[in-house]
Each structure stands twice: as C-alpha cells, then as structure tokens.
A = this chain, B = another copy of it.
Amino acid sequence: MRQPYHDHVVIIGGGFGGLYAAKALGGAPVQVTLIDRRNFHLFQPLLYQVATGGLSPADIAAPLRAILKRQKNIRVLMGEVVDIDPGHRQVVLQNETIGYDALIVSTGASHHYFGSDRWEALAPGLKTIEDATAIRTRILMAFEKAERDPAGREAWLSFVVVGGGPTGVELAGAISELAHHTLKNNFRAIDPSEARIFLLEGAGRVLPAYPPELSEQAARSLERLGATVRTGSVVSDIEPGIVTVRRGEVTERISARTVLWAAGVKGSPLGAILASRAGAALDRSGRVVVEPDLTVPGRPEIFVIGDLACFSHQTGAPLPGVAPVAMQEGHYAARLILARLAGRSLPPFRYTHKGSLATIGRAAAVADFGRLRFGGFLAWLLWLFIHLMYLVGFDNRLLVFIQWALNYFTCNRRARLITGKDGISP
C-alpha cells in the first residue's frame, strides 16, 4: 500500500543511524515510517555489560514507539524488509509493500566468521539482546560446570575472547572482574579466580585503531585484571573445548569451553539486496560504498548510513563502525532530505571526530582526543559520563547510573541469571 501523501521517508533500522535520522525528521513536513524487526532501540555499546551480568536488557533498550510517540508524523512499524524495489520506489515486507520518496537504510552489521560459519555455534558473537543473555548463560554455566566436574575443571574455567577491538577488550575485562571479584566466595569446590581469560588479537596490539601507547596501557590494565593478552595470534580452528591458535610459526591448542567472537563484522543482507537491485558496490565486508552525500551511486533518493555504509571520501579509509558515525550520518541524511524539499542542497557529509573512548574494566579506560591521550580512572569516569549521556531515556540513565555505582562499591553484578533452555540444570 503506497502512502497517500507526498514526501514519504522510509527508514529501515532503528539503531543509532535510523533513530537519529527519525528524530531529525520529527515535526518536519514529511511523513516518516521507521521499520525495525525489533520493537526497541538497543544501546549496543553497553551490550557486553548485559552479557556479563552487570545490567539487564531493559536498561540498555528503549521501545521505539515510546521514544517517538510525540512525533506524530512518524509511525513505527515492526517488521522485516525482505526486498527493495528501487524502480518502483518500494520496500517489500512479508505481507506488505510500502512506497517511499526517500529511503534511509541503516540495518547495521552482524558477525563475520571469515568463511568458517561452523564456528558460529561454538563461538557466539554479541549483537542482540538474545546473544547477550545466551553468552551470560554460557559464562555463568561454565563456573557451575567447573564446580561439579573436577576432571574438566581447567577447560570450564578457561575463556577465550577472539578479537582485541573495543568489544573484545570490554568482554575480557568484564569476565576477569566476574572471576576475580564478583564470584569470590560463591563456590565451595573451585576458586573462580583461577579462571584463565585469553584475549586473542591478530594484529600486533589490542585496540589497533588507537595510538600505540594507549594499546599498551589497555593491555597492562587487562593483565592487571587477570586476563592474558595474546597479540599476533590468529584462530585457525575451533572445536568443542579446544581453540587452535597460530602465532607466527607456532601453533597452540588452548583447552577452553567458552569461546566468544568479537573479531569480524559483515554488512546486513540489505547491502546485497541494494547491490543486486540498485547496482550498489559492496566492500569486502559487505558494506555499501556510498557517495559523498551518503547516497547509493545513481540513486540519490536512497541513503545508506551507519555500520552498513562504507564512506571513504573524508580520509580515504572507511569511517569506523561506531555509534557517533551512525548518529552524524543519520542526522545528515535527514537534513539533506529536508534541504532538497526546500529546493536547496548541502555540502558533502563530513564526520566530526570528537574522540575515542574504550573501557577495559573497573576504573580502567583509555581516551584518545588527538593530542590529548590518557588512560586510567579519569578516562573511565569520562567513559561512564558519555555513555550515560547518550543512553536513551531518563529512566534508563538513572537506573544504569545507580547500578554502576552499586557495582563499583560492592563488585556485585546483580543480573547473574542463567536463563533460557540451556539455563535449566546442568
């Protein structure tokens, strides 16, 4: 059903890109339809805290309808886009077809196992709420199994995180805290602090996108928390209970029951649909190569933003898949649509980089603001502040703040629930 009004903007995906585009179009003289498979916006930067029992899913998710309820020109539609027809300017859902005048595609990215898809079941990645609660169950269940299985204890108490980018560093740091602080005195047969936590990174240092001195500081912080950092290490195989790691000429087999994947991402399937339907070019991560104004070449009415976009016009290298890029791109796409309606145009998109922050764990983070680079407690406080500020919803901000304060002073992580079908009796 084509909408009965002109200037209908369809946004696919309610992540940072799509939501900020929608907000920028709220109250504007256009009709907006925001389509998402889920009913909530997810604050992905804090997903690792759900995966390690520090926060609850509802703390980092906000219902899209609630966020946008006062923007009467926006309707939220929960559904999955299965096709795009650029010729007829339509997006196709399961039982419905929706016409658009402008389309913003912001469906993000998922895990990429570099061709070894059978690793997926053995080494889950962290993109959705369900991923997070399943990983939480795996991690906590490993300690339960270790308590009851003396023969298999070492493998149950060994955790491997593949990928030393921000997510991998956060996960390794949080699991270390869990083992060394949170679970202290919880068990009778094991000492949780005997857990080994390996962080594997293929490059020569963790956080390769940061300046070398901050990578070094992050690695030191991780070791202090009890994790083992292995750089220059590439996973060559994953079997149940065994991870094979190649480091130069040396091959090592690590006996570990819990393996988490934080290594590669690939663009969402809508990238491939845009390639075949609109002739878009994809980079090797499946991201859509966009024009300086974030549109698909030859299709000025189709924008691709966020993790699904490959934008290289500013520095030559693609912009990284981080929230600030997606938010600024969403805002730009909305502004350009409104400018065109007013018969104007805009200069090409330009990302304003305000700085990078990565947290390692309790009172440890690194901050890179170009010339100003620092780590430690101050960087960590700044990280907390920025993340609270961008979290959607006053309730969430207040409750996350209180839980962080409690976690800091008591080392507790209250959401240590083993749930789901794998969470009932070992």
A residues whose Cβ falls under 8 Å from a Cβ of B: 37-40, 56-59, 61-63, 65-66, 69-70, 75, 77-80, 94-96, 129-130, 140, 144, 147-148, 183-189, 393, 395-396, 398-399, 402-403, 406, 410, 412, 414-420, 423-426
Contacts and interface: CB of A to CB of B under 8 A. Distances in A.
B66 A418 contact: no
B414 A393 contact: yes
A415 B66 CA distance: 11
Contacts of A395: 403, 406, 410, 412, 414
A12 to B, nearest CB: 12
A129 to B, nearest CB: 6
Contacts of A95: 148
A58 B50 CA distance: 11
B420 A130 contact: yes
A37 B425 contact: yes
Contacts of A63: 186, 416-417
B425 A70 contact: no
A59 B57 CA distance: 11
Contacts of A37: 424-425
Contacts of A418: 38-40, 78
A66 B186 contact: yes
A184 B69 CA distance: 8
10 contacts: A38-B418, A39-B418, A56-B57, A65-B187, A94-B425, A129-B419, A130-B420, A395-B414, A398-B402, A399-B414
A94 B95 CA distance: 47
A410 B19 CA distance: 23
A143 B23 CA distance: 23
A63 to B, nearest CB: 5
B58 A130 contact: no
Contact of A419 (B57, B69, B189, B415): B57
Contact of A57 (B70, B140, B417): B417
Contacts of A130: 419-420
Contact of A399 (B94, B144, B399): B399
A46 to B, nearest CB: 14
B414 A79 contact: no
**Which of A69, A414, A416 lies at the interface centre, i.e. has the most chain B CB atoms within 10 A of its CB?**
A414
Nearest to A54: B58
A144 B77 CA distance: 8
B398 A78 contact: no
Given A129-B419, A398-B402, A406-B395, A70 B140 contact: no
A399 B403 contact: yes
A79 B426 contact: yes
B188 A75 contact: yes
What are the 9 A-B residue pairs with the smallest beta carbon separation, nearest first?
Answer: A58-B415, A80-B425, A56-B56, A65-B186, A37-B425, A75-B188, A69-B185, A39-B418, A56-B58
A79 B425 contact: yes
Nearest to A424: B37
Contacts of A129: 417, 419
A390 to B, nearest CB: 17
Given A39-B140, A426-B79, A416 B66 contact: yes
A340 B412 CA distance: 38
A56 B399 CA distance: 12
A38 B424 contact: yes
A61 to B, nearest CB: 6
Contacts of A417: 39-40, 57-58, 61, 63, 129
Contacts of A414: 58, 62, 393, 395-396, 399
